Amino acid sequence: MFFGHRQNLILPGRSTHMGDGWETRRRRGPGHDWTIVRLAARGSVQRLELDTDHFKGNAPGRCMLEWCDAPGADSAALQSSAKWQPLLAETPLQPHARHAWDVTTPPATHVRLNIYPDGGVARLRVFGAVA
């Protein structure tokens, strides 16, 4: 169950309140929550920004980002057979904060955000250069 839709991650501007981000239900068992974002164009990723703004008591403890190059792939194919490569190793997150990392990838079409174990993320920004 989700309290904020994952598509809120890519809304323009900063979030205005918790409901304006992606928030998942508390996880009672093993596992983690994740979402896939299709990039606007195939290109190399150069910078990541993840904002936990407004999520003071329910931000994820950690995140990890992965990339894949799968032009034309649908969601089902990405979930089951895409060859995901590490983009950002599992990293601790702070609540109500903006996080930024400089990274480098070969051309990519999708990014997968994994949050551990659950929680809320206001925005995800992926910057790069078109291939």
- What's the pLDDT tens digit per position in 74-95? 877 888 777 999 999 999 999 9
40-63 pLDDT tens trace: 999 999 999 999 999 999 999 999
User: What is the rounded average pLDDT for all residues in the chain?
Assistant: 92
Q: Residue 79 sits in a domain of what CATH number?
A: 2.60.120.260
Helix (H, G, I), strand (E, B) or coil at 79: helix
Q: Quote the CA–CA distance of 67 and 19 in Å, as a whole number.
A: 27
State which residues form the domain around 17: 2-130
Q: Compute the half-sphere exposure of residue 57: CA atoms within 13 Å on the CB side of its CA.
A: 0
Q: Identify the pLDDT of residue 2.
A: 54
Total structural domains in the chain? 1
